[in-house]
Amino acid sequence: MVDKPTSGSLFGIPYNFEQPSLKRMLSTYWQPGEGMLVEKPFGVGYTLNLASWRSWVVLAVAGALWWQQNQSAGEAEFDDEADEDPVEVVVED
């Protein structure tokens, strides 16, 4: 029986299904000489390189957008209570 490869690349997208160790996890997420995206230590695709300042900008923007969405969702709950008045609909034939 032929063993299937546990890591490699398919259509240019990397994959790795080997059992991840703590050392490999830490070395994957912190690579000072690499770019913003690095191969995931487990799974398919890429992840952020936390040694790159660009990754921290992306995380800050994502966090700010998430916070803003949660704030506007809380305000929308209060607006819905004010819209409970009956509405008159006029239909002309």
Residue 87 lies in a domain: no
Give me the domain span that covers residue 41: 7-82
Angle 62-65-57 from CA coordinates, rounded to 5°? 35
Q: Tell me what the mean pLDDT of segment 34-42 comes to.
A: 92
Residue 91 lies in a domain: no
- In the chain, the number of structural domains is 1
Q: Tell me what the mean pLDDT of segment 20-36 comes to.
A: 90
Contact assessment for residue 43 and residue 25, using Cβ atoms and an 8 Å cutoff: no
Higher pLDDT, 62 or 10: 62
Residue 93 lies in a domain: no
- At residue 67 the predicted structure's pLDDT band, cuts being 50, 70 and 90, is very high
**Side-chain-facing half-sphere of 76: CA atoms under 13 Å:** 6
Burial 58-75 (b: 16+ CB within 10 A, else e): eeeeeeeeeeeeeeeeee
Q: Tell me what the mean pLDDT of segment 26-31 comes to.
A: 91
Give strand pairing partners of 7: 16
**Statement: residue 79 has pLDDT above 90:** no
Angle 42-46-50 from CA coordinates, rounded to 5°? 95
